[in-house]
Structure 1
């Protein structure tokens, strides 16, 4: 993994060779990323031609930010086509899957969050502030 730091900005370069195969697609989780603390989680996801992610649901809210290619978000009996530049919002507890029926990679960034993640983030921020004040 290559992180580039300059002043107050750290850039994590996209490294296709460092993706892991899981849940029917290739991905790289946002965490761990030293120095980054956020009220959400995320992953860079790549579906190769013909890939279908595992059908699943969760209590988190989730968005997909489509970076390249085209794909289909499947929910229940619904098929929603998405392409580079699109955003998709998956509501909590909605069973969903993503499929790439095209001949090029489909890449998106998935970001998910819930009340617990937000509360944990706020607690960490308060503890850090208290530590700086002492």
Structure 2
């Protein structure tokens, strides 16, 4: 078992939120990347789109998702999926931190995973 602990004081501010990326983690061979994300009260992530598929998993608090002209509540336990090229952002209008986990992947990540994965490994 390998555990990578969350380093709250070491979160990096990027894309309008504070984050800790899953990678680099030399021992992990995964076909995806990920990031723990904290959106402070009264702030929002930067609107963006990218070539990867992505899911957000709401872990704590409540916020709103804005994407393609739609705005919906996003609360603890919710999961959202974005296809490549879909612009999106998270808006936290509450008085507490909103925390979520983001996972993204593309074909190149899957191919690198397959190339590193030993034949017959479980």
TM score, norm. by length of structure 1: 0.84
Q: Which has the larger radius of gyration?
A: 1
Measure how far apart 1:76 and its partner are.
1.8
1:16 counterpart = 2:8 = yes
Q: CA deviation at 1:34?
A: 2.4
Q: Which runs of 4+ in 1 moved over 4 A?
A: none
Contact 2:7/2:20, CA 8 A, preserved across alignment: no
Structure (1 or 2) with the greater helix fraction = 1
- Consecutive unaligned residues of structure 2, counting only runs of 5 or more, are none
How far apart, CA to CA, are the structure 2 residues paired with 1:48 and 1:83? 15
The answer to which structure, 1 or 2, has the higher relative contact order (CA under 8 A, 6+ apart) is: 2
Query: Displacement, 1:10?
Result: 1.1
**Partner of residue 57, structure 2:** 65
Whole-angstrom CA distance in 2 between matches of 1:106 and 1:31:
22
Unaligned runs of 5+ in 1: 1-8, 130-134
Aligned to 2:104: 112
Counterpart check, 1:34 vs 2:47: no
Question: May I ask how many residue pairs the two structures share in their alignment?
Answer: 120
| 3-state SS of paired residue (2:109) | helix
Shift of 1:25: 0.5
Q: Distance in 1 between matches of 2:43 and 2:35?
A: 17
Q: What SS does structure 1 have at the residue aligned with 2:77?
A: coil
Query: Aligned partners of 2:14 and 2:86: how far apart in 1?
Result: 20
1:78 equivalent in structure 2? 70
Q: 2:48 aligns with which of 56, 76, 98?
A: 56
